[in-house]
Amino acid sequence: MNLHIAVLPGDGIGPEISEQGVAVTSAVCEKFGHTVSYEYAICGATAIDAVGDPFPEETFQTCLRADAVLFSAVGDPRFDNDPTARVRPEQGLLAMRKGLGLYANIRPVETFDCLIHKSPLKDDLVRGADFICIRELTGGMYFGERYQDNDKAYDTNFYSRPEIERILRVGFEYARRRKKHLTVVDKANILASSRLWRQIAQEMAPQYPDVLTDFMYVDNAAMRMLQEPRFFDVMVTENTFGDILTDEGSCITGSMGLLPSASTGDHTPVFEPVHGSWPQAAGQNIANPLAQILSAAMLFEYFGLQAEGQLIRQAVRASLDANVRTPEIQVSGAPAYGTREVGQWIVRWIQSA
């Protein structure tokens, strides 16, 4: 297979983890006889500094030309601490999602037995947890009408039937391929938009008679994720709720550095870690590259290359079992490996597998 991948390293630790994601991708392609080419582009604060736009047109065109995008992270404290800033790195991420029509964000939450001790939750709660959160990505408050002045502000949580139907369809199809259990997360007791979500989900459920469909208010879902994470198989929800719940999922695995994601829709799919840019760690070779590397696994699997994706997952598990880990997930007393060293170890494991 020929793959042309757009690489968007972004800000902070992005370039460091991106380098390891590319290295692993190249190693897998060489192993399986695929050809791969890369085209790099700027985004986020890096792009603001260069051209004044967090997602320049040239970057957009680079993404459109590619088969897939391997994205890392955006964000910079210069903008986080300035509420008056009119242009922000995160606007580039939203522009990319909107421009590419990436309406479905797929975030798996899976535990690693050797890292259970890193979770703040009890072993017997999180061991064996394995579910997917599907977040609607181009609607809701993040894209609705908004207003702000010195005395008032509002954001509009707008959703249309087609937007809701297409993301629910993704949820039902994923549930059908897994354990056939779909949980629709909303706030239908309060929000009109959530009541429309629930209404449409109830209308669609008979089309998937093999899937058990249930409904849960978002506050209850947030609590249930921590009390009984093994209850979930596939959950689907709107943009804002999904943003919060998927970050909460890091409490189950023990580190955000372990969570990959895929964003799919109308055009080029994007594969990225769920964590941010961690600018304080930039250039220190301490960032965990595993979420970026596992995002590369999701990239291969998206194109039906299951063996390639599985090899990456096996390599990641092997590195964890061998205690080849960055500082935040290393066991006490064991040597800490850097971003490059972890990535290089995984590349060598793949090459020798």
CA distances from residue 62 to 7, 56, 253 in whole angstroms, order as listed: 9, 10, 34
Q: What's the pLDDT at 118?
A: 78
Task: State whether the Cα torsion 284-261-275-322 is positive or negative.
Answer: negative
Q: What's the pLDDT at 3?
A: 96
Give this prediction's pTM. 0.88
Contact 78, 48 (CB under 8 A): no
| Helix, strand or coil, per DSSP, at residue 120 | coil
Q: What is the C-alpha to C-alpha distance for residues 229 and 250, in angstroms, rounded to an integer?
A: 12
Q: What's the pLDDT at 152?
A: 94
**Active-site residue list:** 142, 187, 219, 243, 247
Domains, the chain, ranges and CATH? 1-102+265-353 (3.40.718.10), 107-258 (3.40.718.10)
Q: What is the pLDDT along the chain (353 residues), one digit of tens a residue?
A: 899 999 999 999 999 999 999 999 999 999 999 999 999 999 999 999 999 999 999 999 999 999 999 999 998 888 877 667 788 888 898 899 989 999 999 999 988 878 787 788 888 888 888 999 999 998 999 888 999 888 999 999 999 999 999 999 999 999 999 999 999 999 999 999 999 999 999 999 999 999 999 999 999 999 999 999 999 999 999 999 998 998 888 778 877 788 899 999 999 999 999 888 999 999 999 999 999 999 999 999 999 999 999 999 999 999 999 999 998 888 888 888 999 999 999 999 999 98
Q: What's the pLDDT at 112?
A: 83
How wide is the angle at C-alpha 280 spanned by C-alphas 279 and 281, nearest 5°? 90
User: In terms of Cα–Cα distance, which of 105, 161, 109 is closest to 136?
Assistant: 105
